[in-house]
Amino acid sequence: MFRSSFRSLFSRLVFLVAPALLAQGGIMPPPPLLLIVREEVKPGRGGPHAVTETAWTRALTKAKSTDHYLGMTSLTGPSEAWFIMGYANHADWDTKQHELDKDQTFMKEVDKIAQDDGEHLTGTRSILAAFRKDLSFGPDVEIGKMRYFRVRTFRVKQGQAKAFEDGIKLNLAAYGKSNFPGSFAFYEVLAGTGSPTYIVLRPMKSLADLDALASANAAAQEALGEEGRKALQKGSVETLNAVDTQLFSFSPKLSFPGPATIASDPAFWTVKAE
């Protein structure tokens, strides 16, 4: 998307996605291709950073961009802002990224915004990942009604991707047997960080959803049975280098949502001009 390409003028960032997905409306499947922009925000600069992000939104709206994205801020871990965007494929990503290249007024405006935005950041990273339906669980959700993401990152040992995926599928069977609540989308990283790496996104309407997670996990473990639990524990030790879990809150001020997302909850996603 343009946003990523213009940010790259300042910070070498190439990370913007506009979901064809987010334009479909209502309940929608996870996008086949996911682009995530991670911005490390300086301490105490969250407010000013949000101001520059709304400037991005105004510029994109005025230029009638179709490259939408959702922004969120970290509740745990480092002070970060993440921007998530979905594409149908790499060609769709390429088209959206160059959508406004010929709009000189827009290009000058976003160049200035990118410089202002960089004053609030210590670094950025972009990650491209592909949806793995075979490793995901639960029904599709209406993302516009969600308020949080639990993001879990699995860093797998070299040569152990197949064994790791077999372990996930063993877990999925237990989730099915125990009527595990909620949904999560599994993505395999294609570029932007070390591989094999997998990112799992669990959308939540409320942090209260986490309260039921402990008992749900216990039920899933029971469904695995003793042999299944032993096999899963052994597989985790043999296949994983690290597991990182973070919680994020969606931020309308950091987002450029599509019409369908806004329609899901206009009061939440519509940012009033200050």
Enumerate the domain spans of the chain: 2-130+251-269, 133-246
Q: What is the pLDDT of residue 13?
A: 31
The per-residue pLDDT for 273 is 64
pLDDT in tens, the chain (274 residues): 444 443 433 333 333 333 333 344 589 899 999 999 999 999 888 998 988 888 888 888 888 999 999 999 999 999 999 999 999 999 999 999 899 888 888 888 888 888 888 889 899 999 999 999 999 999 999 999 999 999 999 999 999 999 999 999 999 999 999 999 889 999 999 999 999 999 999 999 999 999 988 888 889 989 989 988 898 899 899 999 999 999 999 999 999 999 999 999 999 999 876 5
User: What are the strands, taking DSSP E only, across 132-230?
Assistant: 148-156, 185-191, 197-204
Parallel/antiparallel/unpaired status of strands 121-131 and 197-204: unpaired
The number of beta carbons lying within 10 Å of the beta carbon of residue 272 is 5
pLDDT at 176: 93
pTM (predicted TM-score): 0.87
Structure tokens at 69: 């994205």
Q: Tell me which fold the domain 2-130+251-269 belongs to.
A: Alpha-Beta Plaits (3.30.70)
Reading the block at residue 246, the tokens are: 């973070």
Q: For residues 5 and 97, give the distance between their C-alpha atoms in angstroms, rounded to a whole number.
A: 7
Residue pair 223/174 in contact (Cβ under 8 Å)? The answer is yes
Query: Residues 6 or more apart from 143 whose CB is under 8 A from it?
Result: 22, 28, 70, 203, 261, 264
Q: How far apart are CA 140 and CA 185, in angstroms?
A: 9
Query: pLDDT at position 232, please?
Result: 87
Q: 133-246 in CATH: which number?
A: 3.30.70.100
Q: How much is the pLDDT for 9? A: 33
Give the separation between CA 174 and CA 178, rounded to whole angstroms: 6
Q: Examine domains 2-130+251-269 and 133-246 and report if their fold is the same.
A: yes
Peptide bond into 139 cis (omega under 30): no
Cα 239 to Cα 274: distance, rounded to the nearest angstrom:
50
